Amino acid sequence: MKEDGMLRIVVPASTANLGPGFDSIGLAVSRYLTLEVRLADEWKFVPRSSEVAAIPAGMDNLIYQVAAQVAQTYGCTLPSCFVDVYSNIPFTRGLGSSAAAVVAGIELANELAGLSLSLEQKMRFASCYEGHPDNVGASLYGGLVIGSHRREETDVVHVPDVQLDLVAVIPSYELETEKARSVLPQMMAREDAVEASAVSNVLVAALLTKRWELAGKMMSCDLFHQPYRKELVPQLSLVEKLAMQYGAFGVALSGAGPTILAFAEPGKGMELKEKLAPYFPDCAVEWLTVEQKGSQVYKMSFEK
């Protein structure tokens, strides 16, 4: 990056699982983390929106830690930067705020160190850092991703043109992923595992063939996580009931929660939002769309 230049890095939010696609299916959505980066004498991250008001200002910031780890992996050092941070992604609500920060850190290191990493290399690093490919894959690629993260490698199928409307019911409370994982069983019986994986397979097939009603049915048949997390998200049962009455084809926790997503065919989301909102006065109820583009980097120069 030139001394008189600036980088703008834009990373979309994401939802994961879509019900039974546990730790493997991700969808990019229309909320964004944006960094504006300039060279400086020391690292400093400055929050410019309420969602990121509490982020660390220095080298303990997650974005820096990821960027530094990427640089170290490739034997590089990073110049110090001043970073303005903007976001309208709710923090710890299940919309991939930390995954977006991880992807932003990878993009930051790639640009500052001139690494020219491929999407596959970025995906592998992000997946290893997070431990699963769903949220980070969606933020990197955009659209829908179906991924498999294993010790040896990470494989992702990217579906770039999925047209859906989503309505997010976002509770005011936070839910840490660690707490949401603590209620899950450590083991499943073989017959339950077979059924759960079959449900996930049919969900993917239904999404790819636009069989929306079947996709929604599979969301409700999840055995991996939603039955156990209902106790942590009391709004889930009511959203499931009302959204289906008002035209949604499916409802699922967004990631670990507490955000709940109602899925509708294109063009039906705004009406669904207006019908759901009065029932949840203590929640933010927002209309979202699928973001087709993954993370983007823009380079700008300024005349002296």
Provide the residue range defining the domain that includes 252.
163-287
Q: Are 185 and 38 part of one and the same domain?
A: no
Q: How confident is the model at residue 3 (pLDDT cuts 50, 70, 90)?
A: low
What CATH number is given to the structural domain containing 21? 3.30.230.10
**For position 1, what pLDDT does the model report?**
63
The answer to whether residue 53 scores a pLDDT higher than 80 is yes
pLDDT digits (tens, 9 = 90+) for 259-292: 999 999 999 999 999 999 999 999 999 999 999 9
Residue written as tokens 């065919």?
A: 265
**Residue 19 counted as an annotated binding residue:** no
pLDDT band at 302 (very low <50, low <70, confident <90, very high): low
- Determine the 3-state secondary structure of 102 from DSSP: helix
Task: Report whether pLDDT(174) > 90.
Answer: no
Query: 151 and 179 share a domain?
Result: no
The residue that leads in pLDDT, 3 or 82, is 82
In angstroms, rounded to a whole number, what is the distance separating the alpha carbons of residues 49 and 246? 33
- Is 99 a known ligand-binding residue? yes
How many C-beta neighbours within 10 Å does residue 46 have? 13
Whether residues 175 and 66 fall in one domain: no
Cross-strand pairs, 290: 29
Residues 253 and 281 in one domain: yes
Distance spanning both ends of the chain, measured CA to CA:
15
Report the number of distinct structural domains present in the chain: 2
What's the pLDDT band for 176 if we cut at 50, 70, 90? confident
Mean pLDDT of 166-185: 92
**How far is it, in rounded angstroms, from Cα 82 to Cα 138?**
27
Q: What is the mean pLDDT of residues 165-186?
A: 92
Pairwise CA distance, residues 48 & 281, whole Å: 27
Determine if residue 301 is labeled as part of a ligand binding site: no
Q: Report the relative pairing of strands 81-87 and 21-39 from DSSP bridges.
A: antiparallel
pLDDT of 100 reads 98
100 and 216 housed in the same domain = no
Is 133 labeled as ligand-binding?
A: no
Question: Which 8-state DSSP code applies to residue 27?
Answer: E
Q: Is 229 annotated as a binding residue?
A: no
pLDDT at 301 over 90: no
Contact 47, 55 (CB under 8 A): yes
Question: pTM for this one?
Answer: 0.94
151 to each of 122, 135, 141, 224, how far by Cα in Å?
16, 18, 21, 21
Q: What are phi and psi of 186, to 5 degrees?
A: -75, -25
Residues 183 and 132 in one domain: no
249 is in an annotated binding site: no
Give the percent of the chain with pLDDT over 90: 93
Q: Give the residue-averaged pLDDT of 236-242.
A: 96
The answer to whether residues 89 and 56 belong to one domain is yes
Q: For residue 177, is pLDDT > 90?
A: no
Is 278 assigned to a binding site?
no
Q: Is residue 255 in a domain? A: yes
What's the CATH code of the domain at 207?
A: 3.30.70.890
Q: Would you say 97 is a known binding-site residue?
A: yes
Same domain, 115 and 248: no
Say if residue 236 carries a ligand binding annotation: no
| Domain-located, residue 304 | no
20 cis-preceded (ω within 30 degrees of 0): no
